Every structure is written in C-alpha cells, then in structure tokens.
Structure 1
Amino acid sequence: MRSTFTGIEISKRALFTQQAALTTTGHNISNANTAGYSRQVVNMVASRPLEYPGMMRSNVPGQMGQGVEFTSITRIREKFLDDQFRNENKQFGNYSIQNDTLDKLQAIVNEPTDTGIRSVLDKFWKSWTDLAKDPENVSGRKLVRENANALADAFNATSKQLSDLSNDLTSNIDVKANQINSLTTTISSLNNEIFRIEGLGDNANDLRDQRDLLTDQLSKIVNISVVETPQGYTINMGNTNLVTGQTTTAVTAATLATAMNSGDLNSGEVYGMIISRDRYVADYQQQLDTLANSIANGQVQITIPAGSVIPDGSVLMVPTNTPTGPTLTPVTYSGPVASRTLASDLTVVVQGINGLHKLGYTFATPAAKGVDFFTAKTGTAVTAATFQLNPVIANDPNYIATSLRTTGTAPNETAVKGNNTLALLISQLKDSKFSFNNGGNANGTPSIMNGTLDDYFRSIVGQLGVQAQTTSRQTDNQKAMVDQIEDRRQSVSGVSLDEEMSNMIKFQHAYGAASRFMTTFDQVLDKLINSTGVVGR
C-alpha cells in the first residue's frame, strides 16, 4: 500500500539529488583552472518503484515510481589518453633537456663572432705574418705574445664553461633524483588514502586527480609504466620498481646511471641530462682539447728551405716511402754549422708550433734555441684547460724565435739579422694540414682525420649547429604531440564553463520544481488532515 506521505518523500529525494548536482557543478566551476582537475558528474537513477496490486487488475502487481536518487559522484577520465600522454611526455622531457644543453653549447662556442676562438686564432696567425715582415721589431714580438695569451685565455675560458655545464648537469641529476623520490612518496601516500576512502564505498575523485597529476609530472622526468591495482598505482621504470601500493623505492644519481646502463632508463629529463653530459658536453670538451693540443703539439708536415741551420742535437722526422708504406725516419743533426746547414729543401714532420719553434733561434747573443711556445699549466698534457703561453716567453718576448739561420761557430753562433724564415713557417701553419686524433670509433680504434686547424674548428661548429637544429625540431614536434594529446584529454576531462552554466540552470529549475512539488503536496496533506473528518464544518 502506498503511503499517504509518498509525495513528500519523492520531493525530498529530488531536492537532495538536484542539490548534489548543483554542488558538484559549483565544484567543477571552482576548479575550472585547477591543474590536473577532472570534471565530475552526479550519477542519477530512478529509485526502486513501489510494487502493489492494481485496483483495476486484481491480484496483478503494479509499480509506482519513488522518485530519484544519486548513486555516486564520478570523474570523467580516459585511461588511454593518460597512457598516451605519459608515453609522449617522457620523450618531450628528453628532447627539451638536450635542446637546452645544445643551446648553451652554442652560446659557449660563440661562433661565428669577433670574440670566439676562431677569430682569436686568426689574429694570432696574423701577428706572426706581421712579425715576419720585421722579425727584430719589439712591438711585433709583444703583439705575438699578447695574441698568444688571448688564445690561451679563450681556450681556458671555453673549457671552464664546458666543465661548469657538465657539473650543472650532474647537480641537476641529483635534484631530479630527489624530485623523483618526493613524487613517488606522495603517490604512495595517496595510494593509501584512496584505498582507505574507497574501501568505505566512496569515490576519492579529487585525490585521484592529485595522484594522476603527480604521475604526469613523474612521466616527464623518467620513463614509467603505470598499472592500477586495488592497492593503488604500481609504477615501474623499465624493470626498476618505483612505487608498489603504499611502498616506494628511493633512487639516487648512481642508481639512475645504473638504470640507464641496463636500459631501464631510456627517456625523460634524467636520460636527457646524462646524454647531454656524457655525449654532447664531453664530446665537445674532447674536440676542444684536441684542437688546443694540435696547435701546440699536433703532427704537421712542413718544408724547411735550403740554407737553414738546424740546432745542434736536433732530431728531425723525415717521411720516407717503404715497401710496407710511408714511415718516419729520424735524422739527427749535430756538429759544426756547416754540417747542420741544409743543402736543399727538406720536408719533415714536426709536433705543432712547439716542434717548429724549437728549430729556430732567438736574436740573443749568442743565439738561443727556441723553446716550447705553448705549455701545460699543470702536468704534461696540453688541453684546453691547461693551455698557456710558455712563461719564459710571457716574461720576455725576446725568447720568441724567428730565424732559421746563424753565423759564426758554436758556442758563439748568432742569428742572421733580419732572417724571418721561422716566422714565415709558423704563420703558414694556419693553412697546413694537421693529423687530428678525433677520439675513437665503436671498436675503440682511434679516428684520425687530416685538415687545417680552421677546417677542424669549422667541423666542430658545423656539427654543433646540425645537432642543435635537429634537437630543436624534435623538441618542437614532440611538444606539438604532447599539446595535442593534452587538448584531447581536456576535451574529455576538462571543465567547460558554458556546459556547467547550462547544467546549473537545468539543476536549478529541477530543484525549484521539486520544491514546488513539495509545497503542493504539503497543501494536499493540509487539506486532508485539517479539512476532512468534521461533519458540517
């Protein structure tokens, strides 16, 4: 039997349901600009109807509706788009870091400019050409010294900037490791809260949004796979577990490096940082070291003109052809001046400007043999970081050797006044072909390339430009991909203010109608209770 007060109950249920819908609409509008928020909806169903025999159909059950009720409040989310977003986001993180690093490398190399290494090197060679015009000129010698110091400063500064960039990347890897640990700890905590709340039958919509937002952030840092279980998210980086339910595995810079070597870490910002540091920065540091060392001690073939006097005790490496191929034959020059004077032009291989400079003489009395022009600040290896003008020359430019001819007899030989043979040979090193050890190939075999110093440096700049252009294009394309997927996610999960305003009006009218229905039924009951049952009233 239907209750007399059924109408009141139906209107009450309608009021509660429409009120919940209005509240949820307000919640959506309030979070329209909240990062990671997913639109929520109230799921309404008709209440279980009342069953009773019909008055016109004896003993046949009938049903009368009992209004509406809401079973749950759920968020609108599509897992496929979440997985797609995270899969593309990791590549965007990787490319963006590499692109940023290559942009910084271009700023460090700073070519082509008037202040870059190439420009400073050109000025250095030109000062030798100018000195050859007047080899005894003190101003010309000082200019060579100053340009040599400027070249050393350019190498030192560039090397330090590369070293600083490498250290910055290492520090950022540590920062990212801490960020990963913070994110995974928070995700595991949310797993626990969501498990507890949903175990009571509720939907932890807002907590799920927070967890998904943190997971999205994590997907940009490292490559991850996400599986949802009743205990929450299980997140793995390759075969390395990061989160399982309410437990986490902390990472460090060392464990991330190990994961990269094993293949577990293969994308994301951390991967981009390791690649940038160990491949790009290290490669350009090695090439810069090769250039600096080649200027000082690189193998180069020159031709010494006839009439030149080789310093006593010098050993020249003369290229000769043998049945097994070309080889270098050492030839020692010693004894009186006549025996050390070349009767004809002689082609030899020397070790850079140092090897050539030590074949010449200063204009001191007696003539002094040239010294190493460039030396290492520390140790014996000349690198971009240790490259310096020999302190002996830096303190006294008269130690710059320009002559290859002497007169007199040992030990009182003197350089021929005005002879510029050595200065000309050194200035010609600019266009001479050096042999560069350009690291090694995949098998560890040294890669030797021949070319001028300018060719080698231009190859460095050209390689950097191509790499920067490639990563810039990859970053732009990947960002467009991520943005496109995010737009699709927002079209599904995002809050549309127009739609919410429409819903608000709809629910408002439904609430008003339910209120009117309750008022009407109240009047019916009032009539029934207060105006019936009294005869004659």
Structure 2
Amino acid sequence: MRSTFTNIEISKRSLFTQQAALQTTGHNIANANTRGFSRQVVHMVAARPIEAPGLMRSDVPGQMGQSVEFDAITRVREQFLDKQFYNESKGFGEWSVRRDTLEKLEAIINEPSETGIRKVLDGFWNAWQELSKQPDNLEARAVVKESALALTDAFNHAARQLKDLSADLTDNIDVKTSEVNSLLGQIKSLNHEIYRIETLGNNANDLRDQRDVLLDDLSKIINITSVEEEQGYTVRMGNVELVNGDTAVPFDLNMVNANYVVDGTGNLNSGELFGLMYSKNKLVVEYQNQLDSLVSTMANGINSVHKQGYTLKEPTELGQDFFVFVPQTTPPTSLSERMRVNTVITNNVENIAASKATYTDANGVLKVVRGNNELALQIAGIRNQKFNFDTSGIDKIILNGGTFDEFLRAVVGEIGVQTQEANRQANNQQILVEQIDARRQAVSGVSLDEEMANMIKFQHAYNAAARALTAADEVLDKIINGMGVVGR
C-alpha cells in the first residue's frame, strides 16, 4: 500500500531544495561586486524513486518518484580562461614596468627642452667661441668657467637621478619579492584548507575563489603555471616548483637572482618582477653607460687640446686637464657623477689656456701671445668634430663616429623608440587582459538580472511546494477527522 504521508515527505524535500537554491541566489547577489567571486549554482537531482511493494513485482506501473534533492553546490568556472589570463597578465606586468622606467629615463634626459644637457652643452661651446674673440679677457674666461661648472652639474645631476632610479627599482624588487613570498604562503594555506574541507565531501567554493584571486595577483608579478592536483594547486615558475599542496618554497632575492637572465631565457622570464630586474640591470645601466661614454670622450678630447695651449700665468705655463674625475667611492659611482672642473681653473681663470703662440722677449724670456686665440678656437671647434666614443665596459654604444650633439640626439632617439614600443606593448597587453577578464566574467560573473529571474523561479517553486504540503495536510485531516466513527 502507498503511504499517506509520502506527499508530506515529497513536499518537505522540495521545500529544503528550493530554499537552498534561494539561499545560493542570495549569496550570489550579495557578492555581485566581490572581486574574483564565481557565481554558484545548486545541482538539483530527482530523489531516488521507490517501487510499491509486491510479492513478485510492483503492480504499479513505473516507479514512485520521491521529490527532489540537491547533491552539490558548485561554482561556475572555466580553467582554460584562467590559464589564458595568467599568460597575458604576466606580459602586462612586465611591459607596464618597462614603460614606467623608460618614461622616468625620458624625464631624466629631458630632451628636447630648453633646460636639458644639450642646452647646457651648447652654452659651453658658445663660451669658448666668445673667448676666442677676446682671449685675454678675464670676464670671458669667467664665462667659460661658469659654463663648464654648469655642464658638470648637469652631468652630475643626471647621474644621481639615474642612481636614485636604480635604488628605487631595487626597493621595488624587494617589495615584489616579499609580495610573491606572501602570496605563495597564502596559496599553500588555502590548498591545505580546501583539501581538508573537500575530503569531507563538501565543495569549498568561496575558498577556491580566494585562491584563484591570489593566482591572478601572482601571475602579474611573475610568470606562473598552475596544475590542480589531489592536494591542491601545484604552482611553478618555469621549471621551479613554488607550491605543491601544503608546501611552499621560500621566495627571496637569491631565488630571483638565480632564475633571472637578462635575455629572458631563465625561469623568471616575465611579469613585474622580471620587468623591474630588466629595468635596473639593462635599461638604467645601459643609459648610464652611454652618459659615461659621452663624458669620458668629451673630457679626454678637451683635456688633450687644453694641455697644448698656454695660460696667462708668468712664467709661461702649459694648460692642465680642464676636466678631472674625483676618486671612486664606496659604493661605486659613475664617471658622469665624478666629473668636475679642475680646481686650478675654478680657483683662477688665468689657468684657462686659450693661446698656442709664444715669443721670446729681449731678455730671452719665453712669453705667451695673449691675443692669440688658436687654442680657444680649436676647443670651440670640438663641437663639430666626430669622435669614436669610449666603449670600455659597454655592451653596445648607441652611436660611434659622430659629434657630441649627434650622440645625445641618438640617445634621446633610442629612449623615445623604446618608450613608444613599451607603451604599445603595455596597451596591447592591457587590452588582452581586459578581454579575457570580460570573457571570464561572462562565464563566472554574477548577472543581477539572471539572479533576480532565478529568485522568482525558486520562490514560486518554494510556494508551490508549500501549497502541496498544505494539500497533503488537508487530506490527512479529512482521513483522520472526517472518516469513520471511531471516537465519536
């Protein structure tokens, strides 16, 4: 015989299932703006049916349905899109850092402008040109001295700015390294917690979302791949295993240096951290080397000419080095930061050589022809002279066989091209990241319109189940209180 109470059980199961669906819908709506949240769905299945009792077989056609149940609450997530996001995010992180560094280098070089190195250099050559017009004039010599001081100050300042930029990149490398180590530790902890919960038969949906957000953040800093295994995600950087289940390796500067190769062939080959290392060890160093090459070649060229002429001093004296370099310090400093005007010139402008002509007076004493401007013109003419620039300790010289002005133009042009390329790459990567994230949101994101429709659907289902329960109650009331005469 069929049980009269079966309808109550069927309605109860339906109420519980629809209530779970309503609660899950409310959870989705509540987290509509939560970063990384994946919408969740209740997986409903028909309850296991039973057959009406019979000696040999049921005499009721088919099986008796036993309402509805839910066997899981799952999140909607597509791992393929996650892996695409990781691949594009690392490129965006790297090129964003490169673009930022190159823009700062452009600001340091500050060309073309009315206050950059080229303007100061032009003033230096013009001062020598003016000196050639009146080589024995002390005021004209003072202008040469001041223009030379302005030139060395400009080189010194640019070098210090490059050193500060390098120090800033070093600090950022430390910060990003610590951030990676923290993220790896959190992923390890979540692996352990998710494994513990899911071995009990539950789905740790919200914890999985938190772990995926951590991987999103990590993928922008370093290049990673992740594989989901029984005890959680296994995360690798190239061939280096960073996380395996509830185990994570310490991530420090030693690991960064051991896996970084400037051409990108190491295990660390993309992401913000690679971009910072490349910017510090390649971009900043390269332009510091170009500046040092310019300074070294200029100092040697001017000094060699200056020592061929005569000062205004008596007895007659040959000129000394016009530019000098102060001794190296600890930590080491660049040539352009150590460049100075010789103190014998800053202390007395008569020590500036401008003449190359001498004569012997009636007493047989060698005298300088003070009105001779041969050496001043020769130094002024250096501005149009082509040089083979100093390449010692430099991987690549931007320009060789050119004037100082052409060299500076080449440096500025190189920075401009690299900045333009970095800006293009960063913008392209940003577009790709945003497109993939939009596709992820289309799959996993919460649509309030859809959730409101679901809420109405589940609410009506719940109401219908409650009405069915009321009907079953009325049937039982009729059977118990309205049928038979027992108790009357």
After superposition, the C-alpha distances for 1:349-370 in whole angstroms (9 at most, x for unaligned) are xxx1011111111122223211
Matches within 5 A, 1:488-499: 488-499=439-450
Equivalence map 1:393-472=2 (5 Å):
393-408=345-360, 412-438=365-391, 449-472=400-423
Q: How does 1:144-159 map to 2 (within 5 A)?
A: 144-159=144-159
Which position in structure 2 is the counterpart of 1:203? 203
- For residues 158-177 of structure 1, the aligned pairs below 5 Å read 158-177=158-177
Matched, 1:384 2:336: yes
**Deviation at residue 62 of structure 1 after TM alignment:** 3.2
Determine helix, strand or coil for the equivalent of 1:33.
coil
Q: Is the 8 A contact 1:292 1:382 kept in 2?
A: no
CA contact (8 A) 1:363 1:414 kept: no
Aligned counterparts of 2:255 and 2:486: Cα–Cα separation in 1: 93
Equivalent pair of 2:306/2:320 in contact (CA under 8 Å): yes
Q: Quick one: which amino acid aligns to residue 412 of structure 1?
A: V
Q: CA RMSD in A?
A: 2.2
Structure 2 length-normalised TM:
0.94
- 5 Å-filtered alignment, 1:163-312, equals 163-261=163-261, 263-297=266-300
1:274 to partner: Cα distance: 1.2
CA contact (8 A) 1:406 1:413 kept: yes
C-alpha distance 59-520 of structure 1, shift in aligned 2 (>3 A): closer
- Taking structure 1 as reference, are residues 33 and 10 closer, same or farther at Cα in structure 2, changes over 3 Å only? same
| Displacement of 1:447 | 9.2
Which amino acid in structure 1 is aligned with residue 257 of structure 2?
Answer: A
CA–CA distance in structure 1, aligned partners of residues 98 and 207 of structure 2: 34
Paired residue secondary structure (1:208): helix
Q: Does residue 506 of structure 1 match 2:444?
A: no
Identical aligned pairs, as a percentage? Answer: 56
Partners of 1:528 and 1:260 in 2: CA distance? 82
Aligned to 2:125: 125
- On the 8 A contact 1:366/1:411 being kept in 2, the answer is no
SS at match of 2:48: coil
Which stretch shows the higher mean deviation, 254-263 or 465-474? Answer: 254-263
Aligned to 1:526: 477
Q: Which runs of 5+ in 2 are unaligned?
A: none
Aligned length, in residue pairs: 480
Aligned twin of 1:105:
105
CA shift digits 1:216-270 (9 cap, x unpaired): 1111111111111111011111111100100010121121111124721111111
Could you say which residue in structure 2 is the equivalent of 1:300? none
CA contact (8 A) 2:120 2:147 kept: yes
Q: Is the 8 A contact 1:228 1:234 kept in 2?
A: yes
Q: Secondary structure at the match of 1:417?
A: coil
Q: Greater RCO between the two (CA within 8 Å, min separation 6)?
A: 2
Moved >6 Å (runs of 4+): 444-448
SS in 2 for 1:367: coil
Following the alignment from structure 2 to structure 1, what is the Cα–Cα distance between the partners of residues 58 and 233? 57
Deviation at residue 61 of structure 1 after TM alignment: 5.5
Q: Deviation at 1:399?
A: 1.1
Question: Quick check: which one's helix share is greater?
Answer: 2
* C-alpha separation in 1, matches of 2:123 and 2:469: 96
Q: Does the CA contact (< 8 Å) of 1:436 and 1:449 recur in 2? A: yes
How far apart, in 2, do the equivalents of 1:399 and 1:33 lie? 74
Taking structure 1 as the reference length, the TM-score comes to: 0.86
Counterpart in the other structure of 2:316: 367
Q: Distance in 1 between matches of 2:372 and 2:207?
A: 85
The Cα of 1:446 is off from its aligned counterpart by 8.6
